[in-house]
Amino acid sequence: MSIIKIVEDVPQGSSVVILATAASDFEKCGLSVEEISYVKESIDAKLEHIAINKTGKWIFVQTANTKNDAAKETENMRREAYKLHETVTQQKIRSLTVVDRIGNSGLTCAFAEGMALSNYQFLKYFSKKEEKQNSLSELMIAGDVEQTEIDALNVVIEAVYKARNLVNEPAVVINPTSLAAEFVTMGKDAGFYAQVIDKNGIEALKMGGILSVNRGSNEAPTFSILEWKPADAKNERPIVLTGKGLTFDTGGHNLKTGDYMTDMKFDMAGGAVVASVVQAVAKARLPLHVVALIPSTDNSISANAISPGDVITISDGTTVEVANTDAEGRLILADALVYAKKYNPELVINVATLTGSALRAVGDKGIAGMSNAPRETTDMLKKCGETVHERIVEFPLWDEYGEELKSNVADLKNIGGENAGMATAGKFLEHFTSYPFIHLDIAGIAFAKDADDYRGKGGTGTGVRLLFEFLKSYKTLN
């Protein structure tokens, strides 16, 4: 859904959401004197939602608290938009114009963003899509909002939609080959370079992590390289994003039990996120050199699948004892992190649905993060997380976690002890780095079983807005 800026009067037939405070001017909002009086009385009574039906055209008034912390109030606007979207759908409203009467473009954009993200649906496999389709098809903003702000908002909304679509596709559709093909199509559309390395190329690169996890599969692995390198790039060395592209995870011989396997199509969410971020960066024409590396396979069981106790060799020569075949994501990412060294990057950010312990530690409210990057870089990323409400809880990369990864038969083993699994996983990944490194474990927040806010049900696209906001801000560090 694209948001349109209008400079003329609200289009005839469009319903309206007026963002207002008690001091707002309600003239030229399509309200009568009596209605303006009613609205002001309702605001004084601290009502958050005010609705007036004018013969089929709805006028909603959404109050804002401009004295709140900015990040808190922008998130409140997104969530209020989600609540109003339910009414919009029930009333079969097709066109909606957000009118700014508070003079705050950030809050206005946040409300429109919440409405657009709430309107997302994945209906591809319903035979009667039209019966389930949301009515809202046109979303506009009227007020003192710059076109550049709306352009950036549209770019990121489109990228979140793309990440959600990829995650919501079943594994029978999204396998390593078709996922890589999607990245190529995205590159052609957005104007970034996309290269796919096939199994022969992966073997030539001796990417033992990817090849070992792939051994049980009937689908060939892929390794995708996405690059946006504009002539006016401000960074001499690239920022590299790595993303886990595990298209389905059975757990291998350490088979997932109960219903833990049910939604494992979303184990490629990290790959979908970083690819969608590159799409957003390219469409926004950010002056940054950005690379995304996405190793992809599934983790299946067959007579050829790796077994607990096997020893594999990563592309840098590190030997790894596979103590648990369900800790496979870090094995394929190890090869990607080794490959990232070719770029001599300023920074590498890894995004992955990596551990159940991240979910247990943070729940579905945030991201488990670990970093050895400069403090100002890490703090900026965390601040961006607060801004877009994709918050990061930082955990340490203490050397003691590395002690838990020592093996009796190889250089490393792929799991640590029973506790702090997200930290030992991060420490495992750090072994393969030689550059500033941030790891984001999105296992708890990448997929929602139920919709309780604008993130929706199914793939949430969490990480796209965070990283795009960070990359927009990154040049201020240099």
pLDDT in tens, 76-94: 999 999 999 999 999 999 9
Please state whether beta strands 367-371 and 437-441 pair in parallel, antiparallel, or not at all (unpaired): antiparallel
Strand arrangement of the beta sheet that strand 319-321 belongs to: 311-313, 319-321, 412-413
Q: Per-residue pLDDT for 251 more than 70?
A: yes
Structure tokens at 246: 């595990």
% the chain with pLDDT above 90: 85
pLDDT tens figures, 370-399: 999 999 999 999 999 999 999 999 999 999
Nearest to 382 by CA among 369, 392, 367: 392
* 330 a catalytic residue: yes
- Per-residue model confidence (pLDDT) at position 445: 97
Mean pLDDT of the chain: 94
Amino acid at 230: P
Spatial distance between the Cα atoms of 398 and 407, rounded to a whole number of angstroms: 18
Torsion region of 147: left, alpha or beta (phi above 0 gives left; psi -120 to 50 gives alpha): alpha
Amino acid at 180: A
Give me the phi and psi of 257, to 5 degrees please: -110, 170
DSSP letters for 382-398: HHHHHHHT--EEE----
- Per-residue model confidence (pLDDT) at position 478: 53
Nearest to 1 by CA among 174, 149, 150, 108: 150
Q: Which of 78, 162, 199, 330 is catalytic?
A: 330
The beta strand positions in 147-234, using DSSP E, are 193-197, 222-228
How many CA atoms lie within 13 Å of 185's alpha carbon, on the beta-carbon side?
A: 8
Please state whether beta strands 311-313 and 437-441 pair in parallel, antiparallel, or not at all (unpaired): unpaired
Structure tokens at 364: 């579905």
Spatial distance between the Cα atoms of 170 and 162, rounded to a whole number of angstroms: 15
Spatial distance between the Cα atoms of 220 and 198, rounded to a whole number of angstroms: 8
Spatial distance between the Cα atoms of 281 and 349, rounded to a whole number of angstroms: 15
- Per-residue model confidence (pLDDT) at position 239: 98
Q: Per-residue pLDDT for 308 more than 90?
A: yes
Terminal CA-CA length for the chain: 34
Q: Note whether 408 and 421 are within 8 A (CB).
A: no
Return the sign of the alpha-carbon dihedral for residues 225, 388, 329, 173: negative
- Per-residue model confidence (pLDDT) at position 477: 57
Q: Per-residue pLDDT for 192 more than 70?
A: yes
Superfamily holding 155-477: Zn peptidases (3.40.630.10)
- Per-residue model confidence (pLDDT) at position 75: 97
Task: Give, in words, the CATH class of 3-143.
Answer: alpha beta
Residue with structure tokens 């393969």?
432
Q: How confident is the model at residue 137 (pLDDT cuts 50, 70, 90)?
A: very high
- Per-residue model confidence (pLDDT) at position 476: 59
pLDDT tens figures, 48-75: 778 998 877 899 999 988 888 999 999 9
Neighbours of 9 (CB within 10 A): 11
Q: Note whether 412 and 320 are within 8 A (CB).
A: yes
Query: What are the boundaries of each domain within the chain?
Result: 3-143, 155-477
% the chain with pLDDT above 70: 99
Q: Which of 94, 206, 256, 383 is catalytic?
A: 256
Spatial distance between the Cα atoms of 185 and 84, rounded to a whole number of angstroms: 35
